[in-house]
Amino acid sequence: MATATIPVLRAHAWRALAWALAACAAFPPAAQAQEAARPVYRCPGPPVLYTDAITPQEAQARGCRTIEGAPVTIVQTPRGRAPASAPASAPRPAEARVDPAAQRARDSDARRILNDELRREEARLAEMRREFNNGEPERRGDERNYQRYLDRVAEMRAALSRKEADVAALQRELAKLPPQ
């Protein structure tokens, strides 16, 4: 007597089958056919309108004709930008201009603030370099494990490179300011 073998579906196969059945139930072919059966109308006017969002009575009242055959694809174009009031290279109106003396005062304030910050950052950088001791900082009591020490050295090296980048950025900002 021959025995029939029935494949045993695993749990994930059952889930996949359940999802497939749910998808078929959610989108029955009748609904798809009904969606495709909605008529598309071409309505006259200065902008010719193609739509399927109106009822047959509205289409008749507007004088629209039914389009038979292939569905119409409508692509919306992006709206144009509003023209700028003035191009970037146009001179400013007289009332928008800053008094040269006020601008010099602003520049000197900016220079003073940047110089102060640069001095603080350079002092901190010098202190960090002194602590770093050319890549051999002193070991602390909690660093009995040599790897902890190496990790701290790597952190110090990264902090030093960040601080050097900060100092260089401040110097670039100072260079951008007009001379006194």
> Which pLDDT tens digit goes with each residue over 94-149?
677 888 888 899 999 999 999 999 999 999 999 999 999 988 899 888 888 899 99
32-36, 37-41, 64-68, range with the lowest pLDDT: 32-36
Single pTM value for the model? 0.46
Q: Which residue has the higher pLDDT, 70 or 45?
A: 45
Nearest to 143 by CA among 153, 134, 133, 135: 153
